[in-house]
A and B are shown apart, each in its own frame.
Chain A
Amino acid sequence: DTGVSQDPRHKITKRGQNVTFRCDPISEHNRLYWYRQTLGQGPEFLTYFQNEAQLEKSRLLSDRFSAERPKGSFSTLEIQRTEQGDSAMYLCASSTRDYRDEQYFGPGTRLTVT
């Protein structure tokens, strides 16, 4: 068990550019979550997958955001036409199907939009 990994750890981009982040969950976990955390706030839910199916999306997830988990393993989060307001830490987490179980978080990808 190597834990949840995310790549890259830091990304600096110019406004208007597209960015893509990757998350590799714990291998036996079939649920994968994306959260966004801004300074001084707790993580906010963006979307989650059960296996390859995207089951829920937050209203925070504008149409510039898209997430995939094509084979039910790793996931990608793409932001198109980035805006300065997208600057945040993007967190990935994975868990089993049981709501009583904890989510295991990756180290996050810090996005800075200039």
Chain B
Amino acid sequence: GDSVTQMEGPVTLSEEAFLTINCTYTATGYPSLFWYVQYPGEGLQLLLKATKADDKGSNKGFEATYRKETTSFHLEKGSVQVSDSAVYFCALSAVDTGNQFYFGTGTSLTVIP
């Protein structure tokens, strides 16, 4: 079945450091891929998405590229800020699974000044 495997955390970085959170997926069809973020005490918010191979999603300085050949969708940011401290979830959605989302287990990021 469809699934998402996400880099385990927690991750602690200093401000202005480079961030990578790895995400790989398994899907029988052609999924859409998403990164959601959950800030402390808040609900899940969409960070970015990509709907087909080689698409790059970007938002708030974060980027992820849909790589079909490696079944990956790694999240990157060149310079993290304290305000980026949150839990990040990778997710996929495919037409043959009724559009339900499959989420990874989440990666907690803490950015220290």
Q: Which residues of A contact B (CB under 8 A)?
A: 31, 33, 35, 40-45, 48, 55-56, 91, 93, 95, 97, 99-100, 102-108
Stretch at the interface among B14-22, B76-84, B91-99: B91-99
Contact B42 A40 (CB under 8 A): no
B98 touches A56 (CB 8 A): yes
Does the CB pair B34–A42 fall under 8 Å? no
Rounded to whole Å, the gap between the CB of A38 and the closest CB of chain B is 10
Further 11 A-B residue pairs, CB within 8 A, beyond A97-B99, A106-B43: A35-B101, A41-B106, A44-B103, A55-B98, A56-B100, A99-B32, A102-B46, A104-B46, A105-B43, A105-B44, A107-B42
The prevalent SS among residues of B at the interface is: strand
Q: Chain A residue with minimal CB distance to B31? A: A99
Pick 24 A–B contacts, CB within 8 A, sort by A: A31-B99, A35-B101, A40-B106, A42-B89, A42-B105, A43-B44, A43-B101, A44-B103, A48-B100, A55-B98, A56-B98, A91-B43, A91-B44, A97-B99, A99-B94, A99-B95, A99-B99, A100-B32, A102-B34, A102-B46, A103-B101, A105-B36, A106-B43, A108-B43
List the B side residues contacting A55 at CB < 8 Å. 98
Please give me the 8 A-B residue pairs with the lowest Cβ-Cβ distance, nearest first.
A42-B103, A105-B44, A100-B51, A99-B95, A107-B43, A99-B99, A45-B100, A102-B46
B93, B99, B105, most chain A CB atoms within 10 A: B99
Binary CB contact string for chain B from 26 to 52 against chain A (1 if under 8 A, 0 otherwise): 000000101010000011111001010
